[in-house]
Structure 1
Amino acid sequence: MDSLRKIGVIARSLDSISNIEFKEYELSKGQYLYLVRIGENPGIILQQLCEMICVDKTTGSRAVNNLVKAQLIRKEISANNRKNQLLYLTEKGKEMYDIVDRENKYSNEVALNGFSASERKLFNQLLDKAKDNVGKDWQKVKRGEKREY
């Protein structure tokens, strides 16, 4: 099995676990990604959030609106640019963020169990490099360009 398939199996497994565990909080599929990024970047705008998660604006907007309806995040009009809505966690969202953050830390420890400190550091460096490489292709395709393969 090649590296990307292994990464895919890990990502799908963790996503599936999270979706099952977060169901009791009525946090639907994948919404925790948005919640965490907004918690880490208070005042982020939708476009930045979508680029960070690598989703199109329509998908991101739908997820954000659902989180607003669930009273986990709130929108504020930017004083600098009235077209921009700044995204923040509500008190309920902050509580949920803490739960999701604990789950993330736990999952990280499980995944990296048995790795030495230097292996963890190298693993993260290699993943960053792969993420940057794929991110460049994502930007190209998003602009309508074709990849050559």
Structure 2
Amino acid sequence: MIDILREVGMIERALDSISNIEFKDINLSNLQFLYVVRIYEHPGIIAEQLANLIKVDRTTLARAVRRLEKQGYVYRESDPDNKKIKHLYVTEKGKQIYPFIIRENSHSNEVALQGFTPEEAQQVHDYLKRIRQNIDADWKFVKRGGKRKY
């Protein structure tokens, strides 16, 4: 069997390393930029939705959001009907760094897809999306306390 997850993991770690270095000037690391981007793109998102979108547990998400709040990139706002629900938004500071993050993402995509035709790039995207969707059910199952059978 072909072990594509090793390749995906190496790609992910390489890009994490690059972004940690390149985002050092704006004091973002450990995928914090991803939280800023997703909150920017989904204003008013709640923590549970964001955790599912990024595929992290709630504890990791809460820690990251607290740090981003302290850094002035995001803020929480109580829901007018249910004070327990907190909606997440980016601040002006967060809005200012969004274009920089997107430029880095676009550049990384261009580098990753060098030599691919537009059709091949679309195929890669579609295959990766299918892989993620296949894994999503296991992710939800395990997060809810389930134990996979090997």
- C-alpha separation in 2, matches of 1:100 and 1:53: 16
- C-alpha separation in 1, matches of 2:14 and 2:57: 23
Q: Which amino acid aligns with 1:135?
A: D
Residue 20 (structure 1) aligns with: 21
Taking structure 1 as the reference length, what is the TM-score of the superposition? 0.96
**What secondary structure does 1:66 align onto?**
helix
How far is the alpha carbon of 1:39 from its aligned partner?
Answer: 1.0
- C-alpha separation in 1, matches of 2:59 and 2:52: 12
Superposed CA RMSD in Å reads 1.0
Residue 126 (structure 1) aligns with: 127
Q: Which amino acid aligns with 1:25?
A: I
How far is the alpha carbon of 1:98 from its aligned partner?
Answer: 1.3
- C-alpha separation in 2, matches of 1:81 and 1:142: 26
- C-alpha separation in 2, matches of 1:79 and 1:120: 44
How far is the alpha carbon of 1:99 from its aligned partner?
Answer: 0.9
Q: After superposition, give the CA deviation of every residue in 1:27-62 in whole Å (9 maximum; x if it has no partner).
A: 132211111110111110011101111111111001
**How many percent of aligned residue pairs carry the same amino acid?**
50
Runs of 4+ in structure 1 deviating by more than 3 angstroms, as ranges, are none
1:90-129 maps to which residues of 2 (within 5 A)?
A: 90-129=91-130
- C-alpha separation in 2, matches of 1:29 and 1:12: 11
Residue 47 (structure 2) aligns with: 46
- C-alpha separation in 2, matches of 1:123 and 1:114: 13
- C-alpha separation in 1, matches of 2:13 and 2:71: 25
Taking structure 2 as the reference length, what is the TM-score of the superposition? 0.96
Structure 1: 5+ residue runs without aligned partners? Answer: none
- C-alpha separation in 1, matches of 2:92 and 2:120: 37
